[in-house]
Amino acid sequence: MDIDALRSAHPEHWSKATAIRALTLDAVAAANSGHSGMPMGMADVATVLFEKHLKFDASQPNWPDRDRFILSAGHGSMLLYSLLHLTGYEQFPIEELRNFRQWGARTAGHPENFLADAIETTTGPLGQGLANSVGFAMAEEMLRAQFSKKVVDHHTYVIAGDGCLMEGVSQEAIALAGRHELSKLIVFWDNNNITIDGTVDLSDRTDQPLRFKAAGWHVQEIDGHDPEAIDAAITAAKNAGKPSMIACKTHIALGHAAQDTSKGHGALTNPDQMAAAKAAYGWTSGAFEVPADVKSAWEAIGARGASEYTAWQERFAALSERRQGEFNRRLAGEVPNKLAAVVRALKKQVSESQPNVATRKASEMALEVINPVMDETVGGSADLTGSNNTLTADLGVFDVDNRKGRFVHWGIREHGMASAMNGMALHGGLKPYSGTFMCFTDYARPAMRLSALMRTSTIYVMTHDSIGLGEDGPTHQPVEHLAMLRATPNMLVFRPADVVETAEAWELALSQTGTPSTLSLTRQNVPTLRTDHKNKNLSAQGAYVMADATGKRQAILLATGSEVAIAMDARALLEAEGIGTRVVSMPCWELFEAQDEAIRKRVLPAGPVRVAVEAGVRLGWDKWLMGERGREAKSAFVGMEGFGASAPAETLYEKFGITAEAIAEKVKALL
Residues 14-53 that bind a second copy (CB under 8 A): 31, 33-34
SS3 annotation, 60-89: CCCCCCCCEEEECCHHHHHHHHHHHHHCCC
Residues 82-101 that bind a second copy (CB under 8 A): 101
> Total residues contacting a second copy (rule CB under 8 A)?
109
Strand order in the sheet with 68-71: 68-71, 156-160, 185-191, 244-249, 218-223
Bridge-based pairing state of the strands 156-160 and 68-71: parallel
**Phi, psi at 362, each rounded to 5°:** -60, -40
Residues 97-156 that bind a second copy (CB under 8 A): 101-105, 108-110, 112, 122-126
Question: Whose Cβ is closer to a second copy: residue 268's or residue 335's?
Answer: 268
Stretch touching a second copy by CB under 8 A, among 16-24, 538-546, 552-560, 646-654: 646-654
Stretch touching a second copy by CB under 8 A, among 219-227, 516-524, 538-546, 619-627: 619-627
For residue 71, list its beta bridge partners.
159
Residue among 243, 470, 516, 608 that touches a second copy (CB under 8 A): 470
Using CB under 8 A as the binding rule, whether residue 385 contacts a second copy is answered as yes
Residue 203, annotated ligand binder?
A: no
Residues 156-195 that bind a second copy (CB under 8 A): 162-163, 166-172, 175-176, 178-179, 195
The catalytic residue among 140, 364, 414, 628 is 414
Min CB(107)–a second copy separation in Å: 8
Min CB(427)–a second copy separation in Å: 20
Residue 440, annotated ligand binder?
A: yes
Binding pattern for the stretch 400-429 against a second copy, x by CB under 8 A and - elsewhere: ---------xxxxx-xx-------------
Using CB under 8 A as the binding rule, whether residue 619 contacts a second copy is answered as yes
Residue 523, annotated ligand binder?
A: yes
- How many whole angstroms separate alpha carbon 536 and alpha carbon 344? 8
In terms of Cβ atoms closer than 10 Å to its own Cβ (0-12, 13-18, 19+), residue 155 is buried
Residue 533, annotated ligand binder?
A: no
Note if 414 is an active site residue. Answer: yes
Q: Among 517, 498, 497, which Cα is nearest to 509's?
A: 517
- How many whole angstroms separate alpha carbon 640 and alpha carbon 116? 44
Residue 33, annotated ligand binder?
A: no
Residue 360, annotated ligand binder?
A: yes
**Phi, psi at 35, each rounded to 5°:** -125, 110
CB 528 within 8 A of CB 536: no
Using CB under 8 A as the binding rule, whether residue 453 contacts a second copy is answered as yes
In what helix (H) or strand (E) does residue 584 lie, and over which residues does it extend? strand 580-585
- In the three-class reduction of DSSP (H, G, I as helix; E, B as strand; rest coil), residue 196 is classed as coil
Residue 125, annotated ligand binder?
A: yes
In terms of Cβ atoms closer than 10 Å to its own Cβ (0-12, 13-18, 19+), residue 606 is exposed
Question: Whose Cβ is closer to a second copy: residue 327's or residue 637's?
Answer: 637
Question: Whose Cβ is closer to a second copy: residue 58's or residue 215's?
Answer: 215
CB atoms within 10 A of CB 168: 12
- How many whole angstroms separate alpha carbon 212 and alpha carbon 210? 5
Question: Whose Cβ is closer to a second copy: residue 283's or residue 410's?
Answer: 410
CB 343 within 8 A of CB 510: no
Residue 194, annotated ligand binder?
A: yes
Using CB under 8 A as the binding rule, whether residue 620 contacts a second copy is answered as yes
Q: Which 8-state DSSP code applies to residue 612?
A: E
Question: Whose Cβ is closer to a second copy: residue 479's or residue 565's?
Answer: 479
- How many whole angstroms separate alpha carbon 74 and alpha carbon 88? 21
Using CB under 8 A as the binding rule, whether residue 630 contacts a second copy is answered as yes
Residue among 357, 384, 467, 613 that touches a second copy (CB under 8 A): 384
CA angle 323, 326, 329 (to 5 degrees): 150
Min CB(173)–a second copy separation in Å: 8
In the Cβ-directed half-sphere of 35, how many Cα atoms lie within 13 Å?
25
In terms of Cβ atoms closer than 10 Å to its own Cβ (0-12, 13-18, 19+), residue 286 is exposed
Residue among 63, 288, 316, 643 that touches a second copy (CB under 8 A): 643
Residue 144, annotated ligand binder?
A: no
Residue 383, annotated ligand binder?
A: no
Stretch touching a second copy by CB under 8 A, among 277-285, 300-308, 597-605, 643-651: 643-651
Min CB(171)–a second copy separation in Å: 4
Residues 488-517 that bind a second copy (CB under 8 A): 488-490
**Phi, psi at 103, each rounded to 5°:** -55, 130
CB 220 within 8 A of CB 244: yes
**Phi, psi at 629, each rounded to 5°:** 75, 10
Min CB(350)–a second copy separation in Å: 28
Residues 200-259 that bind a second copy (CB under 8 A): 202-208, 210-211, 213-216
Question: Whose Cβ is closer to a second copy: residue 1's or residue 196's?
Answer: 196
Binding residues: 35, 75, 124-126, 162-163, 192, 194, 265, 360, 387, 440, 464, 472, 476, 523
Binding residues for substrate: 35, 265, 360, 387, 464, 472, 476, 523
Active site residues: 414
Binding residues for thiamine diphosphate: 75, 124-126, 163, 192, 265, 440
